[in-house]
């Protein structure tokens, strides 16, 4: 495990890069369950995620070293549980806004959690909210984005970027 601290906004100031992990979301949940506080904006990135998950317990298949697989910790305590889809919308649009200048108008969001380029799946997200009363205490945002993977057992992936 490598821990990098770099300057910038709060997201990514604490970056843990793992060679291999079952799921970056699982790793971050375990880290949160320890007594030591985890700073907001912590990013867990894996070179190989061998048991990534998608919505409704679907698996996210990622060949080692060919995809971006990472999770980000946010603490949106200002957001009521009833408004948690606002977080999903914000993350989906942020991914879209980041990739659109590179990929152009064929980029699409398949709501609520998939990113497509034309008719090929480029990536997806899994947001797991940990609640405390009527607010979201922690949000674990897992993202998987295909960069160089050509095949997948379930979905047609776009060709490598």
Run means of pLDDT, 10 residues per run, the chain, 161 residues = 53 86 94 90 91 62 77 94 94 94 94 91 92 92 83 49 39
Contact 103, 117 (CB under 8 A): yes
Fold of 2-146: BirA Bifunctional Protein; domain 2 (3.30.930)
pLDDT at 158: 42
Domain boundaries, the chain: 2-146
């Amino acid at each position: 495990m490598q821990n990098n601290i770099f300057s910038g906004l709060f997201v990514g100031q604490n970056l843990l890069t793992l060679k291999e992990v079952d799921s970056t979301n699982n790793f971050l949940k375990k880290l949160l369950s320890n007594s030591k506080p985890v700073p907001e904006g912590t990013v867990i990135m894996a070179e190989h995620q061998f048991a990534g998950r998608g919505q409704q317990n679907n698996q996210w298949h990622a060949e080692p070293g060919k995809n971006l697989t990472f999770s980000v910790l946010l603490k949106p305590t200002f957001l009521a549980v009833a408004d948690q889809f606002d977080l999903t919308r914000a993350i989906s649009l942020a991914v879209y806004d980041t990739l659109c200048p590179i990929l152009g108008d064929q980029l699409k969001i398949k709501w609520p959690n998939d990113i497509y380029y034309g008719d090929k799946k480029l990536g997806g997200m899994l947001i797991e909210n940990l609640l405390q009363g009527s607010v979201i205490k922690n949000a674990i945002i897992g993202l998987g984005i295909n960069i160089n993977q050509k095949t997948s057992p379930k979905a047609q992936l776009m060709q490598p970027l």
